[in-house]
A and B are shown apart, each in its own frame.
Chain A
Amino acid sequence: MRETFASQAPWYVAGPLLGLCVIAVLALLNGRLGVVGGFSDVVDRVSERSLRLGWKGTFLVGLVGGSLLWALVSGGRTGDGYGWLTETFSAPFVALALLVAGVCIGVGAKTAGGCTAGNGLSGNAFGSRAALVATLTFMAVAVGVSFVTKWIWGAGL
């Protein structure tokens, strides 16, 4: 079992499994699965000095736990680098770059009403045209920016 989970899941297994989560949240809760909503829920509750999370918050807690479970079952990944960033830049710069990227992700996802999960998976599955526009936009920008950084600094893989 350890080997099964230690190697990357085939996309035709992992993809449908992720899609089933979107269906489950709708079928069970009439909810739109998303992750940024969970972050908002946690931040709002913490700022109110309360830990009474809504379902989006408990979904996020479950997500963190599910990833931990995978690490326990598979043995996790080794190495303490962070992909192309630590291959290319010094540690303090990487931390700063991730902080700035996080701000872009937070403001951007809230403004656009969803992230890769909320708009990209759920919104498109719901047939929302706003989600389609959002998805095409962030895909195009992410691919474009990644190619620009590859030309300047190399792939870093």
Chain B
Amino acid sequence: MTRLVAALVGVVFGFTLAWSGMSDPDVIRAGLIFEDLYLFWFFFAAMATAFVGVQILRRANVRALVTRERITPETLRPERRHVGGSILFGLGWAISAACPGPVAAQLGQGILWSLATIAGIVIGLTLHAARERGRETAKAGTRPASAVGIE
């Protein structure tokens, strides 16, 4: 049920991304060089809508309808990785004029260029996982076992 519900929301999300032109690299590039501010209006309208809904759900203190878990929107304190990772992400976004959602939407429309970007994302995810494993091993090797997993 959880998986099915997520897939259905995904359909609405993908349809909306495509309809708003986010799968068209020209639309994103025109936004990033301020030739057409649609990208920003769209993004801020989405964020503002979500913000209002999430804050109402948080205050209502209710359970999720499908999973029955208590609704807990997670917040984090900024760390260096949020800046470092986002610098790299912003670079990739500017070059490809696409981010993960739009790339997946391009795939849905049969835009074959998206395969190159997706191959890159898969390589990136694999590199990141390998680096994390390396860190875990290094941590386990240099610290007492009780200290592992504190970060």
Contact = CB atoms under 8 A, between A and B. Distances in A.
A103 B119 CA distance: 8
Nearest to B24: A77
Nearest to B20: A14
A116 B54 CA distance: 17
- Main secondary structure, interface of A, reads helix
Contacts of A77: 24, 109
B145 interface: no
B119 A99 contact: yes
Interface in B20-75: 20-21, 23-27, 29-30, 32-35, 38, 41-51, 53-55, 57, 63-67, 69-75
Interface in A32-55: 32-33, 35-36, 38-40, 43, 53-55
A63 B93 CA distance: 19
Given A23-B53, A39-B122, A64-B104, A120 B64 contact: no
Contact of B78 (A18, A25, A32, A129): A129
A22 B82 CA distance: 21
Given A58-B10, A124-B47, A107 B88 contact: yes
A88 B46 CA distance: 32
A101 B13 contact: no
B21 A8 contact: yes
A31 B76 CA distance: 15
Contacts of B117: 98-99, 101-102, 105
30 contacts: A8-B20, A18-B13, A19-B45, A38-B104, A39-B118, A57-B3, A63-B108, A67-B104, A69-B14, A70-B19, A80-B112, A95-B116, A99-B119, A100-B92, A101-B96, A101-B117, A103-B127, A104-B91, A105-B120, A107-B125, A112-B89, A113-B82, A115-B89, A125-B73, A133-B82, A134-B82, A137-B86, A138-B87, A143-B32, A156-B29
10 pairs of A and B residues whose beta carbons are closest in the complex = A102-B120, A106-B124, A62-B10, A15-B45, A66-B14, A19-B49, A141-B90, A112-B85, A111-B85, A83-B25
